[in-house]
Chains A and B, each alone.
Chain A
Amino acid sequence: SQQGEEDPQALSIQEGENATMNCSYKTSINNLQWYRQNSGRGLVHLILIRSNEREKHSGRLRVTLDTSKKSSSLLITASRAADTASYFCATTDSWGKLQFGAGTQVVVTP
């Protein structure tokens, strides 16, 4: 079964605007993590939210988790051109295996 499906698939915004992307999943989770990937590069960990947490902040990032709806959102406030990347959510099972979604491609134009 697929886990961590993000929407939208692509998002184009201007610098200074906020970017919001959503992630839905199907099975129960231990935690949910968000990653960023610049084109052709590695995955950079952004934030981890545990299943008993509802909201978490890290700098300009805000993540929410609604386990009743099996969904999470990532908000990037005051976006910058350097935020241009693909963003992935990934659910974690009890062994730490990550299941990734297809990602949201974010383009921030100056």
Chain B
Amino acid sequence: EPEVTQTPSHQVTQMGQEVILRCVPISNHLYFYWYRQILGQKVEFLVSFYNNEISEKSEIFDDQFSVERPDGSNFTLKIRSTKLEDSAMYFCASSEVGRGTAFFGQGTRLTVV
């Protein structure tokens, strides 16, 4: 069964460093998303991406965040200068249609020290 895959599963980085989280969405999907979940809190929307551009972003998604689809399969989230409060589980999701079922990856646990 097709699935969304994320790498790495766990990343530890020092405060101020740049990190890139990678995702391979399901191949025929057109809509891509990043969400995050701080430990013990609800899942929060970061950004949606369609037709090679951001379609919507939350107030969390400030200038230190960026997304890219560098080729036909990968979808990346870059955090330029990580802060302690960026420590969270980051989930990538994709859907075939904009209002359809969103399938999530297993997440990348980011720990900023």
From known contacts A94-B99, A95-B48, A98-B35, infer whether A41 and B107 are also in contact, taking CB-CB under 8 Å.
yes
Bound-state CA distance A72–B99 (Å) is: 18
1/0 contact trace for A87-103 toward B, CB 8 Å? 01010101111111111
A-B residue pair count with CB separations less than 8 angstroms: 66
Bound-state CA distance A40–B107 (Å) is: 9
| Interface-central residue, B31, B43, B98, B100, by most chain A CB under 10 Å | B43
The answer to whether B95 touches A42 (Cβ under 8 A) is no
Q: In terms of DSSP, what is the predominant structure of the interface of chain B?
A: strand
Would you call B75 an interface residue if the criterion is a C-beta within 8 Å of the partner chain's C-beta atoms?
Answer: no
What band does the interface of chain A fall in when counting residues whose beta carbon is under 8 Å from B?
A: 20 to 34
Report chain A residues within 8 Å CB of B42. 88, 100-103
1/0 contact trace for B90-112 toward A, CB 8 Å? 01010101111111111101000
Can you report 16 residue pairs joining A to B where beta carbons are below 8 Å apart? A31-B99, A41-B107, A42-B104, A42-B107, A43-B43, A45-B104, A48-B101, A94-B98, A95-B31, A96-B99, A97-B33, A97-B48, A97-B56, A98-B35, A98-B43, A100-B42
Query: Which B residues fall within an 8 A CB radius of A?
Result: 31, 33, 35, 41-45, 48, 50, 55-56, 89, 91, 93, 95, 97-107, 109
